Amino acid sequence: MNQHGGYTGDNKNILDFSININPLGMPQTIRQALHSALDEVDIYPEIDGKSAKHALAQALGCYENQLILGNGASELIYLFPRSITPGKALILSPTFNEYKRALTLNNWTYTPFYLKKENGFRIEVEELVKAYESHRPDVVYICNPNNPTGTLYSLEVMKKLIGSLPDSVLWFIDESFIEFTEEESCDQLVRDGWKNIFILRSLTKFFALPGLRLGYAIASKAMITKLNRYKEPWTINTLALVAAEKIYDDSEYIQKTRDYIRKERQRVFREFQNINGIIPYPSGADFHLIALENNNTDWLLKALNEKNIHIRTCEDFHGLEGTHFRVAIKSIEDNNRLIKALREVMEASHEA
Ligand SMILES: Cc1ncc(COP(=O)(O)O)c(C=O)c1O
């Protein structure tokens, strides 16, 4: 198993900044729907979630046969390489580690293409074309906004990147955090008939439902048909299907979350910039990647844990190990506790 965020120790008072879940909690509409759906768990759910796909297709403006549901986005990360003839993948890195494992388990080979921190972990078209020419991948993996760097590309830039490679190259685009941003999703491209893109969405982060396990992908009918051939039946349970049917209903909640995250992201970023010894990267998501000048994230984790605060250190991300950490955006009060603790710990380290 890969390493992930989430505090697993015994401290009951820990404030956990290592997982990036909407601090506003799940929408009330979903909570109520889940309560009512409890009576339905004594029958099998729809085998392929047809009703939920119908509702999602309406919300997204696509066809039902362009959608596939997953037991979290994770199921689809594994289903994708299982359903397609194995080949070579290029992974724009550092990024979410599950892509690598899913590829390896399904007999794919991959090359991580490490983006430079000096360039804000962004790739330019010329660089991508060169990487393509050296590696000739069948699929390019990109996470937008990217976990853990927070790098966000606009739809225009994504179109340029995709358009710079031959149409035969598939694009696996993980948009699990896109709902937190103001940028447009690449799902527009699927609606416009682009055939070589697979867009992955997680509904667990934005809608604060990590325990329910719910995600989906949108792609051409042909690609979705391939994945359906390999998908196990009933992977989405009754409660998750009920949530999926209503997920985009509460537009007020969606806007409120976006407004909150945008404002709070700007505020905490400015505060982080004023703490000596750490350098935050601008982010398009609900978290920040931060570089630690003394290159000792083990020390920082320990010092913050003593103040009941947990962070995501990056030892499993090549190039960030020991030197970088990631923190979620939580409530204003919680964020203030993090800022205060970080300031105290960093000041003490400079005095020592
Ligand atoms: C970029 C990215 N994609 C996908 C996932 C998996 O999400 P889910 O909980 O929907 O399986 C995560 C979880 O952290 C993630 O960070």
For residue 279, give the CATH number of its domain.
Answer: 3.90.1150.10
CB of residue 174 inside a 6 A radius of ligand 1: yes
Q: What are phi and psi of 16, to 5 degrees?
A: -100, 105
User: In terms of domains, do 155 and 263 share one?
Assistant: no
Q: Identify the residue whose C-alpha is closest to ligand 1 atom 7.
A: 73
CB of residue 96 inside a 6 A radius of ligand 1: yes
Asked, for residue 215, whether it belongs to a domain, the answer is: yes
Kindly report whether the global pTM for this prediction surpasses the value 0.75. yes
Buried (b) or exposed (e) across 1-10, using 16+ Cβ within 10 A? eeeebebeee
**What is the pLDDT, as a whole number, of residue 6?**
87
User: In terms of domains, do 240 and 262 share one?
Assistant: no
**Helix 72-83 crosses helix 98-105 at what angle (to 10 degrees)?**
40
Buried (b) or exposed (e) across 169-208, using 16+ Cβ within 10 A? bbbbbbbbbbbbbebebbbbbbeeebebbbbbbbbbbbbb
DSSP 203: S
**What is the pLDDT, as a whole number, of residue 24?**
97
Q: How close is the Cα of 149 to the center of ligand 1, in Å?
A: 14
Last residue within a domain, chosen from 202, 231, 246: 246
Asked, for residue 228, whether it belongs to a domain, the answer is: yes
Asked, for residue 191, whether it belongs to a domain, the answer is: yes
User: In terms of domains, do 111 and 86 share one?
Assistant: yes
**pLDDT in single tens digits along all 352 residues of the chain:** 777 888 888 889 999 999 999 999 999 999 999 999 999 999 999 999 999 999 999 999 999 999 999 999 999 999 999 999 999 999 999 999 999 999 999 999 999 999 999 999 999 999 999 999 999 999 999 999 999 999 999 999 999 999 999 999 999 999 999 999 989 999 999 999 999 999 999 999 999 999 999 999 999 999 999 999 999 999 999 999 999 999 999 999 999 999 999 999 999 999 999 999 999 999 999 999 999 998 899 999 999 999 999 999 999 999 899 999 999 999 999 999 999 999 999 999 887 7
Last residue within a domain, chosen from 200, 223, 246: 246
Q: How close is the Cα of 117 to the center of ligand 1, in Å?
A: 23
CA–CA gap between residue 252 and residue 258 (Å, rounded): 10
Hey, what are 307's tokens? 């103040």
User: In terms of domains, do 322 and 311 share one?
Assistant: yes
Which residues constitute the domain of residue 41? 28-246
User: In terms of domains, do 290 and 319 share one?
Assistant: yes
Give the residue among 268, 213, 232 at the shortest CA–CA distance from 74.
213
CB of residue 148 inside a 6 A radius of ligand 1: no
- Which CATH number do you get for residue 46? 3.40.640.10
The number of distinct structural domains making up the chain is 2
User: In terms of domains, do 21 and 32 share one?
Assistant: no
Atom of ligand 1 nearest to the CA of 202: 10
Give the residue among 352, 338, 344, 345 at the shortest CA–CA distance from 15.
338
Asked, for residue 5, whether it belongs to a domain, the answer is: no
User: In terms of domains, do 44 and 189 share one?
Assistant: yes
